[in-house]
Amino acid sequence: MENDIARVLVTNEELKSRIAELGAEITRDYAGKELLVLGILKGAVLFMADLVREIRLPLTFDFLAVSSYGASTSSSGVVRILKDVERSVEGVHILIAEDIVDTGLTLKYLKENLYRRHPESVKVVTLLDKPGRRKVEVVPDYNGFVIPDEFVVGFGLDFGEKYRNLPYVAVLKPSAYEV
Ligand code: 5GP
Ligand code: MG
Ligand code: MG
């Protein structure tokens, strides 16, 4: 698996310290509020697991699953909710946790969908942001790292369901895409 890696973009140490900073910022911003952290499966799971342990507030978390790109590396623009939140979000402060914002299509759809359920607020925390590929305007409220327009894997992010367990964010060698 490590043989498929061309270049590490964000090391595990960088991830851990940035996630701690994000957690501290979120802790300050949401003090005294009812916070629901909503992770987008499956990519955000590792990021979210670390992030919630850095948020020193009472909170709840849940997960949403949306239709993904499958093994492809480009966006179809089609978003479908495959697994929904298990409770009402009315009056709650929702913080969507994403692995990466690319075209922005997924988040635009999710934010609109969630707003229709009358939450108190909807904000976004993403581990990675690729602003160069945006198709719709979505600005994450909290962002770990801005990265260049390259397809990345690791720390939750996959290619064909592989590489999610890498403890860093990396770019694959071209040979890794040949199946
Ligand atoms: P968007 O709707 O913003 O185009 O895409 C969001 C989703 O596409 C992300 O949550 C992620 O699952 C997937 N995605 C976008 N860019 C990358 C990337 O560079 N690597 C991987 N593994 N997934 C990506
Ligand atoms: Mg995602
Ligand atoms: Mg994927």
Q: Does the residue 165 lie in any domain?
A: no
Give distance in angstroms: CA of 42 to centre of ligand 2. 7
Residue 161's pLDDT is: 96
Residue 10's pLDDT is: 98
Q: If you take atom 16 of ligand 1, which residue's CA is the nearest one?
A: 102
Residue 149's pLDDT is: 94
Average pLDDT per run of 10 along the chain, which is 179 residues long? 93 98 98 97 98 98 83 62 95 98 94 96 98 94 97 97 98 89
Contact call for residues 91 and 119 (beta carbons, < 8 A): yes
* Catalytic residue status for 102: yes
Q: Does the residue 93 lie in any domain?
A: yes
Q: Does the residue 158 lie in any domain?
A: no
Atom of ligand 1 nearest to the CA of 153: 22
Q: Which burial class, exposed, middle or buried, applies to 18 when counting CB atoms under 10 A from its CB (0-12, 13-18, 19+)?
A: middle
Residue 128's pLDDT is: 98
Residue 75's pLDDT is: 56
Q: Per the structure, how many domains does the chain have?
A: 1
The catalytic position among 4, 29, 62, 102 is 102
CATH number for 43: 3.40.50.2020
SS3 40: strand
Q: If you take atom 8 of ligand 1, which residue's CA is the nearest one?
A: 102
Give me the domain span that covers residue 71.
12-147
Q: Does the residue 164 lie in any domain?
A: no
Identify the helix (H) or strand (E) that includes residue 22.
Answer: helix 12-29
Q: Does the residue 5 lie in any domain?
A: no
Cα(142)–Cα(106) distance, integer angstroms:
16
